[in-house]
Amino acid sequence: MVVRVLKILVAAGVVAVAGLGTSAPAMAAANPSIVSVTCNDPIACTAGVWSAGSLMANPGDAFTVHNGVSGFGSDFDILKDGAIVQNVFVMGPGSASMTAPSAVGNYTLRYTGIGSADGYSIPLTVTNDPIAPPPPPIPVIGLQQVGVPASGDCADVPVTVGHDQGYPIGGWSKSWAYWIYNGTGGPVCTRTVEEIPNGDGTNRLVLDTNP
C-alpha cells in the first residue's frame, strides 16, 4: 500500500507590542527557559550535547535543566570565576529547577556527568535588561495520504500503514487526490501529523486535529 507524505514548513508569526509611557518594562523569563544535555552517542557517551549555546536571565529567574542521559545522574552547577554558587543533581532522564543569581554578571552553567569528567559548559549571562522571549518553534507538518481500504472506511486503514517510528495511530479521513490511480485522481484517506517540542529539547509527533 502506497503512502504519500508531504512535509511543509509552517512559520509561526511573531507580534511584538511596544510599551507606552516611562514605566520600566516587565522582566521576562530566562531565555531559553529549559536547557537540556544529551549524549553525543547512545552507546558510548563521550560528550554532553547542550540544547542551547548560551543562557540569559534576569536576577532570580527560574529555569529548568534537563538531564537526557538515561540511567545516569549528573550535576548542574552555576559558577562565578570558577567557584560553584549553585548546584543541583539530576538523575536522568529528569529535570530540576535552578535560579539565576541575584547579582548581574557573567556566569557559567556546567554539566558534569557520564562522559564528561571535566564538565561541559555554556555561558550564563545575568542582566537587568529585559530579555526577549525565544521565537516560537517552527512546527513540521506532515500530510499523509493512502488509498481507501476495500471497506471504503478510512477508519479501517491498517495500523501498520504510515506509522513509522514515533508516528501516532489513526486519525484518517476521506479526501480526494490527483496522484492516486496513476494520476487520474480519486478518493484517498488523509491525515496530518505535527512535530511539536516536549520542552526538554526533544520532539514528538501528534495528530493535527485542525489542519
Domain edges within the chain = 3-12+137-207, 34-126
Of the candidates 67, 108, 120, the one whose C-alpha atom is nearest the C-alpha of residue 90 is 67
* Measured torsion, CA atoms of residues 207, 12, 141, 198, in degrees rounded to the nearest 10: -50
Residue 105: per-residue pLDDT: 97
Q: How far apart (Å, rounded) are the C-alpha atoms in residues 91 and 71?
A: 7
Residue 92: per-residue pLDDT: 79
What is the mean pLDDT for each group of 10 consecutive residues in the chain (211 residues)? 38 23 43 84 72 92 86 89 95 89 96 70 94 65 81 86 68 84 84 73 66 50
Class of domain 34-126: mainly beta
Q: How far apart (Å, rounded) are the C-alpha atoms in residues 146 and 159?
A: 12
Phi-psi region of 154 (alpha: psi -120 to 50; beta: other; left: phi over 0): alpha
